[in-house]
Amino acid sequence: MFHLHTLGWHSFQQLCLSVSREVLGQTVQSFLDTNDGGRDGAFSGIWRQQDGESLSGRFVIQCKFTARAGYALTPSDLEEEFSKVRRLVSKNECDVYILITNAGVSGETELKVKERLYQAGVNGLRIFGVTWLEDQIRGSKHLRMMVPRVYGLGDLSQILDERAYAQATAVLESMREDLAKVVITESYRKAARSLDSHRFVLLVGEPASGKTTLASLLAMSSADQWGASVVKLATPESLVEHWNPHEKSQLFWIDDAFGVTQYESCLVSGWNHVLNEVKTILRQGNRVVMTSRDYIYNRARQELKEGAFPLFQESQVVIDVHDLTVDERRQILYNHLKLGKQPREFRTAVKPHLEFVADHERFIPEIARRLADPFFTKKLHLSEWSLANFVDKGEQFLIGVCKELDKDSKAALALIYMSNGRLPSPISLSAAEDEALRRLDSDLGACTAALEALRGSLAVHVTSDGETYWAFKHPTIGDAYSSMLRVNPELLGIYVRGSDIERLTRQITCGDVGVEGAVSLPSSLFLLVIERLAAYKTSSAYKTEWMSGWEARRGLLVFLAKRCSKQFLEAYLAVDPKLIESIVNPMPYLEFSVEVELAIRLFKFGLLPEKARQTLVENVSKYARDALDARVLCDPELRSLLNDKELRRLRETVRTEVLPRIEEVRLEHQAGREAEDDPEWHMRRFTQFLSAIEEAYPQSWRIRRIVKRERLQVREWIDGNPTEADSSVSRDITVNEPSANHDVSRSIFDDIDE
């Protein structure tokens, strides 16, 4: 059974027209929502039915909606329609009349209605009630993809086969309410086309723009249409772990691929390491959906191997919530309120203001969700002024909501935040977390009860990557909680003491260094952070001892290079003076060297001793002289460590010793390519080397000729060594939800309180 009575008159009409297109197999014309002359849709032609009977002529389609569950249609409900039919027949505009309703239609009622319609002059008619409509939805995958809201309107076991249902239950059932409220937008259409064309899509947008909802639609459609196994994952490593080379139809869904509320360089490094596997996964017929906040992706793309994986650009769908049409905004707001938790009295009171809310320039889908939940509107005065503040100052409003929570609810949110947004369930506290709860005057039992109370409003229970955990209902709640931390020193102290050190280094900055979304710690907590870092010797990311130690050290260097002020670095070097000598001998592939990044930052702050600077300069210069790595020639920041004399000497050595054997150098680079490497990405260091030489001697025609010749040779080699072509085919995800223009005389919100 599908809850079609929750759709509202407008969405029901759109569903009926989509069903008509699917069943009739023709283009059905939709009319304005008012002044339609008694027709919600029409077409002219022949309808050949499965029983062999044919109906022909001018068809009129009328949709009759009821908001009452289980309601049975009566002839009196159609009195107005009978008179409209007589008028249409007299104008030769109705030969066949089709009535579609979400009400039940008994045999007796059907006979009475047919008698009245034949008396009105129609030659043929069909009456389709709720049972017929539900059969169409269950029987047509294509229809469900055109109107994916139906995935959220009924028991998924009625729609999907057993295998797809098991996948959907494990991954998507927690989002079923959101699926029921979805509105198809141009962003979804673009994403669907990209997933079909490339089997990969990256959804990029600002917080609360609906990226996760779009990803869930694509996942559900793939499970339904292709029988794809839907696997929701968190990290690059888990993608490779869950990939089954013998299964050709898997969909991997990775939310917040490069960080949840802030950029995480370790995730980008992980993706760079598995790009070849991702290519193979896609070539075998599997699909990948990623999401990322826009500001996080803009930071991540600086380190992503976009040249080795062009789909990061080709399959990127930017979701701009400000591009939503007026109709889409109103439908989003309608769906959330109609299917939300607000009582009828609230919906009646807010009804006159809903068009104003939907038209507000700062309206986003998350605002609709909050307005539909009494948890967020307890103190909201229903006036245009207060509603404008509700929309325009959404983050400040959410901070206020969090501040007014009881102590146990605040402690519960603290546990989620300290767990980097993923609190394992069932909850098992570490000693540090237990201490943090005591300081917050709470305990595990009270927090567990609070989480249940917050479920659906601020928190959600999720199954992903084979694990169950508590998370924020929406990432903006984590943003609001971090804003609370910034202004409460006592909470910050608890947070620093109780958080896992690896998570902590991805969430904080020591001083304000401009990392968006991070918790900026004051200098009063610097010594506590240094104490925590001193104990950071192993990482839980790896089981082997040496890999665990390597990752911990790398995480420490990344934190110091990216997230620390000069004041903090001075304090840290006083405690760990041996750090300097550990970073001046980096390995080749300097573009990925965190040692070089930290050395550059220390040099900018005047904290890199001269002897250490000289050692580092000699090492990176040797890589350039040996044509192993040209970063010191190409990167202005690293090059700034060289004084004028050192730079002139290096460039002259390259000109006199490397340039004469440049062809030999190119051949050595080409020979070092592994079979699975992208050829253009593989040759990037050599082409960077060519650019650096050309830049150093802009007036030399001889050098420019040599560089041009070598670039042509590189291009010929790349063209002659293509990566394996993708020869498989797939079926389009077709999205063709009918659109409608709204007449101002009838609002979409007319029946919001029925």
What digits encode the pLDDT tens for the residues 422-475?
Answer: 899 999 988 878 888 888 889 999 999 999 988 888 888 887 666 789 988 877
| Amino acid, res. 667 | L
113 and 228 fall within a common domain: no
Number of other residues whose CB lies within 10 A of the CB of residue 467: 12
132 and 189 fall within a common domain: no
User: Are 254 and 260 contacting, i.e. CB atoms less than 8 angstroms apart?
Assistant: no
| 700 in any annotated domain | yes
Phi first, then psi: give them for residue 204, nearest 5 degrees: -120, 130
173 and 301 fall within a common domain: yes
178 and 120 fall within a common domain: no
**For residues 669 and 274, what is the distance between their CA atoms, to the nearest angstrom?**
22
Break the chain down into helix, strand, coil percent, rounded to 5.
Answer: 55, 10, 30
Domain count, the chain: 4
Number of other residues whose CB lies within 10 A of the CB of residue 486: 15
Q: Which of 49-63, 239-253, 728-742 has the highest mean pLDDT?
A: 239-253
pLDDT for res 498: 67
Per-residue pLDDT of 613-662, as tens digits, reads 999 999 999 998 888 888 888 889 999 999 999 999 999 998 898 889 99
157 and 201 fall within a common domain: yes
132 and 155 fall within a common domain: no
The CATH number for 92's domain is: 3.40.1350
| 509 in any annotated domain | no
Confidence label for 195 from pLDDT (cuts 50, 70 and 90): confident
> What percent of the chain has pLDDT above 70?
83
User: Are 184 and 735 contacting, i.e. CB atoms less than 8 angstroms apart?
Assistant: yes
Identify the H or E element spanning 162.
helix 162-171
Structure tokens at 11: 């969405």
pLDDT at 31 over 50: no
**Torsion sign over Cα 255, 260, 262, 266:** negative
User: Are 227 and 163 contacting, i.e. CB atoms less than 8 angstroms apart?
Assistant: yes
Of 553, 652, 730, 753, nearest in space to 198 by CA: 730
Structure tokens at 335: 């769906």
Q: ω into residue 148 within 30 of 0, thus cis?
A: no
Confidence label for 737 from pLDDT (cuts 50, 70 and 90): very low
Phi first, then psi: give them for residue 678, nearest 5 degrees: -70, 125
For 546-568, b where at least 16 C-beta lie within 10 A, e where not — what string? Answer: eebeebbbbbbbbbbbbbbbeeb
Confidence label for 502 from pLDDT (cuts 50, 70 and 90): confident
72 and 155 fall within a common domain: no
Structure tokens at 191: 């994403």
Domain end marker among 81, 116, 139: 139
Of the two residues 732 and 98, the one the predictor is more confident about is 98
**For residues 290 and 539, what is the distance between their CA atoms, to the nearest angstrom?**
26
164 and 65 fall within a common domain: no
pLDDT at 321 over 80: no
162 and 277 fall within a common domain: yes
**For residues 439 and 589, what is the distance between their CA atoms, to the nearest angstrom?**
46
**For residues 237 and 258, what is the distance between their CA atoms, to the nearest angstrom?**
13
pLDDT at 552 over 60: yes
Identify the H or E element spanning 229.
strand 229-233
**What 8-state DSSP symbol labels residue 418?**
H
**For residues 585 and 751, what is the distance between their CA atoms, to the nearest angstrom?**
71
pLDDT for res 25: 58
| 592 in any annotated domain | no
pLDDT for res 741: 44
Read off the pLDDT of each residue in 40-55 and give the average, rounded to a whole number.
58
**What 8-state DSSP symbol labels residue 455?**
B
Strands (E), 525-578: none
84 and 177 fall within a common domain: no
Read off the pLDDT of each residue in 188-202 and give the average, rounded to a whole number.
84
Listed range (509-518, 627-636, 740-749) with the worst mean pLDDT: 740-749
| 413 in any annotated domain | no
Read off the pLDDT of each residue in 70-90 and give the average, rounded to a whole number.
87
pLDDT for res 743: 44
Domain end marker among 105, 139, 173: 139
260 and 298 fall within a common domain: yes
| Residue 541: exposure state from Cβ atoms within 10 A (0-12, 13-18, ≥19) | middle
pLDDT for res 565: 95
What 3-state class would DSSP assign to 519?
Answer: strand
101 and 168 fall within a common domain: no
**What 8-state DSSP symbol labels residue 742?**
P
| 530 in any annotated domain | no
pLDDT for res 172: 57
Q: What is the domain extent for residue 369?
A: 326-392
What 3-state class would DSSP assign to 44?
Answer: strand
Mean pLDDT taken over the chain: 81
Identify the H or E element spanning 454.
helix 444-454
Structure tokens at 441: 């005057």
Of the two residues 550 and 30, the one the predictor is more confident about is 550
Phi first, then psi: give them for residue 316, nearest 5 degrees: -85, 125
**For residues 371 and 388, what is the distance between their CA atoms, to the nearest angstrom?**
12
pLDDT at 716 over 60: yes
| 70 in any annotated domain | yes
Domain end marker among 372, 392, 412: 392
**For residues 530 and 556, what is the distance between their CA atoms, to the nearest angstrom?**
11
Of 214, 166, 456, 177, nearest in space to 317 by CA: 214
pLDDT for res 44: 57
Of 20, 67, 64, nearest in space to 45 by CA: 20
| 502 in any annotated domain | no
For 140-176, b where at least 16 C-beta lie within 10 A, e where not — what string? Answer: beebbbbbbbbbbbbebeebbeeebbebbebbbebbb
Confidence label for 583 from pLDDT (cuts 50, 70 and 90): very high
Instruction: Please give the span between the terminal C-alpha atoms of the chain, in angstroms, as a whole number.
Output: 21
Alpha helices (H) along 456-525: 475-486, 489-498, 501-507
What 3-state class would DSSP assign to 656?
Answer: helix
| 605 in any annotated domain | no
User: Are 62 and 69 contacting, i.e. CB atoms less than 8 angstroms apart?
Assistant: no
Q: Which of 6-10, 42-46, 394-398, 452-456 has the highest mean pLDDT?
A: 452-456
